[in-house]
Amino acid sequence: MTGSARRRRSDGGRSMSAATAGLESLVAAYREFAGNGAGRAPEWVRTLREAGIDGFGAMGFPTTAHEDWRFTTVAALAEGGFALATPERADAASAIPPALLGSGRFRVVFVNGRFDAGASAIEGLPEGVTVASLADVFARDASLAQTHLGRSGVHERNAFAALNTAFAADGAYVHVAPGVEIAEPIEVLFLSAPGSARTVSHPRTLLVVERLARASVVEVFAGEGTYWTNAVMEVVVGDGARADVYRVQQEGRSAYHVASTHTRQGRDSVVNVHPITLGAALARHDITAVLDGEGARCLLNGLYLGDGTQHVDHHTVIDHAKPHGESHEYFNGVLDERSRGVFAGRIIVRPGAQRTDSKQTNNNLLLSEEARADSQPQLEIYADDVKCTHGATLGPIDPKALFYLESRGLGKEEARALLTYGFGAEILERMDVPALRQRLERIIRARLLEPRR
Amino acid sequence: MERSEGTAMLEIRGLHASIQGNEILHGVDLTVRPGEVHAIMGPNGSGKSTLAQVLAGHPAYEVTGGTITFEGKDLLGMEPEERAREGVFLAFQYPVEIRGITNAYFLRSALNAVRKHRGLEELDPIDFLAVLEEKTKVIELDEELINRPVNDGFSGGEKKRNEILQMAVLEPKLAVLDETDSGLDIDALKTVAAAVNKLRRPDNAAILVTHYQRLLNYITPDHVHVLADGRIVRSGGKDLAHELEARGYDWLRAEAAV
């Protein structure tokens, strides 16, 4: 056996000191953060942060030995070297590419994790709708957020969410009072504009849609350079309410994006989450949807594109806690060159959650021999009167479909392009914000149909 | 008796075709003239669908002998899309679902590919919608299906009707209907047959590939051919279909083997 063949890959080959360097420097950064300006936060926020850093310290960075991280190594993050991002210079607003801003009236913008009032637009919101930066909420009326922030417990189960919680300082806060409906989506832009150093930001979003209320939020993540976004979103939806969450991850190609989204919904409520994953060198998104009321309905409708050496990992959990719930999960991936897609979809039906109806599909289109997809459905069913289906496909363009299109007069290239685009279009069609859908159609068309760089 | 006047639209001479090294067609001859409807009947495994697929240019089939001439051109030398643009249309036995692409978008792309080839201006979405509305009425297809992804979640009958809609929109010179009647209930069969009849013109032709005679109760063929074991073993007028219905296929196979 040769020396090179014996050399082990991934986490196994890293020295212990390298693996803990990131953890140690982050804990040190936390001590500094907690000791100065962050001290303005109310007591309960400081307690929550402590719980966050303790949880992170205890869990540490996951390795590929963890079942949930088998296919995704975060060694680059664990090795450290990411300084806490600092509020950007005053001219940051003018540097925001207009293409990233939606056409809507209401918008909150965060640059390097901090609220940018100049680029935001929150005037004229309807009565009963509050949109603010979390930093403002902490400074003024923290009780608004206290009821829900961190209550998902996401920081107790996920090291990255714990880390985000430790550094929770700013982010988007959206609250819609009972019975209030706001038709226009609220746009939330998290932009990273690091300087020469590698930085990390911990954006946090809290969306609370109270009983019989309705709102939609469009989150966009973008940036340039090498940086790490460590995001958490918590969504709480009351009885009979509806929340639509659109999430466009178009980080720079050298970026790392790790995120947790947690939704909890009440009786007869509707939650639709649309994660569109386009950017970052490494992207990992954990989504947990808890259907915590009878007759709740949930849609997870995701699309991921990969090329180059991009690595895109989605781990989802749909937790049917009460009877008569309905969930639909659709994730499509289009993977080219040497990119890799990972999808793990867990569906839990709790004891007593009878008449649950759950459907999961994950389709992966592999456009090159080197592209790879892993798909893992996981059903945990503890009730007997339920309907759960799941299906996954992976492979190149279907030759039957190709011939079908050719037999109608389409050229080979056009037919291939149409079939490829269809993987994205199928997901975009389920989105209810026409302006966003059109913007995404343009991006995806350019990405999938135009000749490579 | 076969008529022989007029110029042939399609000439198949001594066609041999194989799939994965197995020869299915062992020398098929067929002449189709404008305005004619030909029925090709035969038992399962006789090569009917192979003939249909070979006409459309399916890449899995290898033509090992013979010629196919379409309007004086060598059809076998053309790619599937060129054949379609020249006016050959295959209604699939098993139409394929195309994820994410609406029927309307797909049909416009296909029609424009054909129009471009014929030197006609491409249609914009609005002009195309007018064409589509007119054709949808002929087919009696639920208009809602126009904006759904191609064949995605369609019932068996809807898929077959959708094939006929594509045919109506693309206006082929030669339509090959591969077991379009299979899996259809009698009402759907009548609707599909009525649509095919409405689309008949003196300058186009159709080949109906079918296992059963019942489709021919609604579409009257000019010629009926029996394909058995990869050869046409009998040709005749529409009465041959009735005879087959009464006697089955075995007597022809026995005769052919003699």
Choose among A64, A50, A53, A47: nearest CA to A25.
A53
Q: What is the pLDDT of residue A88?
A: 61
Interface of A with B in 379-398 (CB under 8 A): 398
What residue spans of A91-170 are helical by DSSP H? Answer: 92-95, 134-140, 143-146, 154-157, 159-166
- Domains of chain B: residue spans and CATH: 10-257 (3.40.50.300)
Q: Say which residue, A360 or B139, is predicted with more confidence.
A: A360
- Averaged pLDDT score across all residues of chain B: 91
Least confident of A322-326, B134-138, B201-205: B134-138
Helix (H) or strand (E) holding A444: helix A434-449
Cβ separation B109–A401 shorter than 8 A: no
Q: How do residues B20-48 score in pLDDT, each as one tens digit?
A: 999 999 999 999 999 999 999 998 889 99
CA of A333 vs chain B CAs: smallest distance (Å): 13
Nearest to A410 among B81, B89, B96 (CB): B81
Q: Return all residues near B85 (Cβ < 8 A) that are at least 6 apart.
A: A409, B113, B114, B117, B118
Choose among B185, B211, A16: nearest CA to B193.
B185
Cβ separation B149–A422 shorter than 8 A: yes
Residue among B61, B90, B93, B101 with most chain A CBs within 10 A, to mutate: B101
Q: List the single residue in A with minimal CA-CA distance to B80.
A: A407
SS (H, E, C) A323-390: CCCEEEEEEEEEECCCCEEEEEEEEEECCCCCCCEEEEEEEEEECCCCCEEEEEEEEEECCCCCEEEE
Cβ separation B98–A409 shorter than 8 A: no
**What is the rounded distance in angstroms from the CA atom of residue A364 to the CA atom of residue A377?**
14
Contacts of A414 in chain B (CB under 8 A): 109, 113
Q: What is the pLDDT of residue A37?
A: 62
Interface of B with A in 127-166 (CB under 8 A): 149, 166
* Alpha carbon separation from A95 to A91, A116, A374, B258 (Å, rounded): 7, 12, 38, 86
A148: Cα separation from own chain's centroid: 19
Cβ separation A409–B92 shorter than 8 A: no
Q: Say which residue, B247 or A354, is predicted with more confidence.
A: A354
**What is the rounded distance in angstroms from the CA atom of residue A59 to the CA atom of residue A278?**
29
Q: How many CB atoms lie within 10 A of CB A387?
A: 11
State pTM to two decimals. 0.89
Is residue A168 within 8 A of residue A151, CB to CB? The reply is no
DSSP string, A50-87: HHHHHHHHHH-S--TTSGGGTT---HHHHT---EEP-P
Mode of pairing for the β-strands spanning A282-291 and A227-237: unpaired
User: What does the DSSP 8-state code read for residue B153?
Assistant: T
Q: What is the pLDDT of residue A232?
A: 98
**Residue type at A223?**
G
In the block, which residue shows the tokens 């068996």? B156
Helix (H) or strand (E) holding A414: helix A412-428
C-alpha triplet B142, B147, B148: angle, nearest 5°: 85
Nearest to A424 among B81, B100, B110 (CB): B100
Q: What is the pLDDT of residue A142?
A: 76
**What is the rounded distance in angstroms from the CA atom of residue A128 to the CA atom of residue A174?**
11
Q: List the single residue in B with minimal CA-CA distance to A403.
A: B58
Predicted confidence (pLDDT) at residue B222 exceeds the cutoff of 70: yes
Is residue A301 within 8 A of residue A273, CB to CB? The reply is yes
Q: What is the pLDDT of residue B43?
A: 87
CA of B239 vs chain A CAs: smallest distance (Å): 33
Q: How large is the angle between the packed helices B125-139 and B186-198, nearest 10 degrees? A: 120
Cβ separation B99–A403 shorter than 8 A: no
Q: What is the pLDDT of residue A41?
A: 86
List chain A residues with pLDDT less than 50: 1-16, 90-91, 452-453
Q: What is the pLDDT of residue A312?
A: 98
Q: List the single residue in B with minimal CA-CA distance to A422.
A: B100
| ipTM of this complex prediction, to 2 decimal places | 0.94
